[in-house]
Amino acid sequence: MVSKNILRDIIVSNEEFILKHINKIVERKGLLFPQTLNKSVVLYGVRRSGKTFILFNLFKSNRERALYVDFEDERLLGFGLKDFEELKDVMLEMKPDLVEEELVFLLDEVQNIEGWERFCRRAVERENIRVFVSGSSSKMMPSEIQTELRGRSWSVEVFPFSFREYLRAEDIDTTDKNLLYGPRKAILKKYFSEYMKWGGFPEVSLLKSDLEKTKLIKEYFSAMYFRDLVERYNIRNIPLLESLTDKLFSSFSLKFSLNAFYKQNKDRFPFSKDLLFRYYRHFLQSMLVFEVKKFAESTYTRMRNPAKVYLVDTGLCRRITSADAGRLLENIAFLELRRRGYEVFYFEEERECDFIARTDEDRLFPVQVCFELNEENMEREIGGLIQACRWLNINDGTILTYGDEKDLRIDGINIEVHPVWKWLLQHRSAQ
């Protein structure tokens, strides 16, 4: 139980803080929120990706009827499920003219309140409250949300800045039609190579000096490593965790086989296969690492083949030499496909294609990524894409590169070759 006075204090001080101290908020326009459906919106995603700032921005645009509460606030110790009702009462006492109006509740780190799902359900079904919740923990992942809220929540995965958002952070007008052409193209390419190198964590993007960026990324990584892995899962076998980290963070855009890892390391230090599988799962739960499975009809084939791994941000990729640029592009393309809400697989039969993406409407499309198309790889890259198209019975495929751009028609298949940075800016959503 928390007293009304404290709740009032918190509401007022948060309002003041957001309105007075949070000045520059880069709009996250690509996020898909439900417009009319009565659903609670659940924001989840890796730490520092900007979830709290999305709530701040929602507060700014709904300020007359919104409240923001952070359940990590120590003054809220002892807040229980019943206190949500008090929160509403306090708000209406402060703003009585809202009694008949829709309210907007922005609840941060809400996983700290046992049973929060029940409140959300009631709020959207009966109380005329729009609810947006967020939290840093894997407890907010769709698979973890309590059954009470299943079907009544709308989960939105938050990633670090997309390239478009990154440009917006640099005050570039991304709606400018001429951006992709003429002299501005060179500036855009310069920004893109920065984006490849540093990734899109918002705070990192906004820093100016390379030294500070490096330092902040290191800090992020170690905070996530210790808090979201070691402490959270009570990890004891540190040599195993360290080797696995090293391997995963240098294997971005590559296949990763747990069995091979086991064989390579089992004589170096003691660990069981079960433990290895468990630690790997924790990486996925931390949302630092994603896996992409092989495209196959049967679940059995999908599970039996090793997955490819991608990192949540290219700023975290390790051992970058110029030879890894193609893999960085691939990682960026993966993240963008996920931002657009697609399910992603890789294709591998006699030939390979990096991605098969599946849209919400079940449309499939293959995407191949390579640094450039040249004499050496042309046959392989195009051949893989064509085989994927045939397999899916479709006539269009995409190849993403650093700088090549052309339209090809080969064996009845239309192939669009785009520079990744252009493709990132051309999608209809998130203008």
Ligand X SMILES: Nc1ncnc2c1ncn2[C@@H]1O[C@H](COP(=O)(O)OP(=O)(O)OP(=O)(O)O)[C@@H](O)[C@H]1O
| Residues engaged in binding ligand X (CB under 6 A) | 24-26, 28, 47-53, 136, 202-203, 206
Which tokens in the block code for residue 5?
A: 């006075």
Question: Shortest Cβ contact with Mg ion: which residue?
Answer: 52
Nearer to Mg ion, 136 or 251 (CB): 136
Cα separation values, 160 from 41, 53, 205, 353, Å = 18, 12, 10, 26
- Residues of span 252-271 touching Mg ion by CB under 5 A: none
Residue ranges in 307-404 assigned as alpha helix (H): 325-339, 378-392
DSSP string over 341-357: T-EEEEEESSSEEEEEE
Nearer to ligand X, 205 or 401 (CB): 205
From ligand X, Mg ion, none, interface partner of 202 (C-beta below 5 to 8 A by class): ligand X
- What pairs with residue 419 in β-bridges? 401
Angle at 115 (CA atoms; ends 14, 73), nearest 5 degrees: 25
For position 111 contacting Mg ion by CB under 5 A, the verdict is no
Position of tokens 């709308």?
Answer: 154
Return the closest-CA partner of residue 188 out of 427, 429, 419, 11.
419
Rg (CA), the chain: 23
**CA dihedral of residues 259, 263, 268, 270 (deg, nearest 10):** 60
Min dist. Cβ of residue 426 to ligand X (A): 22
Min dist. Cβ of residue 136 to Mg ion (A): 6
Nearer to ligand X, 220 or 334 (CB): 220
- Residues of span 120-179 touching Mg ion by CB under 5 A: none
* Whether the Cβ atoms of residue 289 and residue 305 lie closer than 8 Å to each other: no
Min dist. Cβ of residue 87 to ligand X (A): 20
- Beta-carbon contacts of 348 under 8 Å, excluding residues fewer than 6 positions away, are 294, 295, 305
From ligand X, Mg ion, none, interface partner of 294 (C-beta below 5 to 8 A by class): none
From ligand X, Mg ion, none, interface partner of 47 (C-beta below 5 to 8 A by class): ligand X
φ, ψ for residue 263, nearest 5 deg: -60, -40
Nearer to Mg ion, 52 or 331 (CB): 52
From Mg ion, ligand X, none, interface partner of 49 (C-beta below 5 to 8 A by class): ligand X
Nearer to ligand X, 104 or 240 (CB): 104
Min dist. Cβ of residue 201 to ligand X (A): 7
Min dist. Cβ of residue 202 to ligand X (A): 3
- Binding pattern for the stretch 382-421 against Mg ion, x by CB under 5 A and - elsewhere: ----------------------------------------
Sign of the torsion angle spanned by Cα atoms 85, 87, 92, 93: positive
Nearer to ligand X, 90 or 140 (CB): 140
Nearer to Mg ion, 52 or 368 (CB): 52
Cα separation values, 117 from 37, 44, 107, 152, Å = 17, 15, 12, 10
Residue ranges in 21-82 assigned as alpha helix (H): 51-61
Min dist. Cβ of residue 10 to Mg ion (A): 16
Which tokens in the block code for residue 58?
A: 């929602």
Residue 366 and residue 155: Cα distance in Å, rounded? 26
Which tokens in the block code for residue 136?
A: 């840093």
Number of residues that bind Mg ion (CB under 5 A): 1
Nearer to ligand X, 137 or 387 (CB): 137
Min dist. Cβ of residue 276 to Mg ion (A): 31
Instruction: Find the largest Cα–Cα distance for the chain.
Output: 73
* Whether the Cβ atoms of residue 161 and residue 201 lie closer than 8 Å to each other: yes
- Residues of span 35-54 touching Mg ion by CB under 5 A: 52
Min dist. Cβ of residue 287 to ligand X (A): 10
- What pairs with residue 291 in β-bridges? 309
Nearer to ligand X, 67 or 399 (CB): 67
Min dist. Cβ of residue 355 to ligand X (A): 26
Contacting residues toward Mg ion, per CB under 5 A: 52
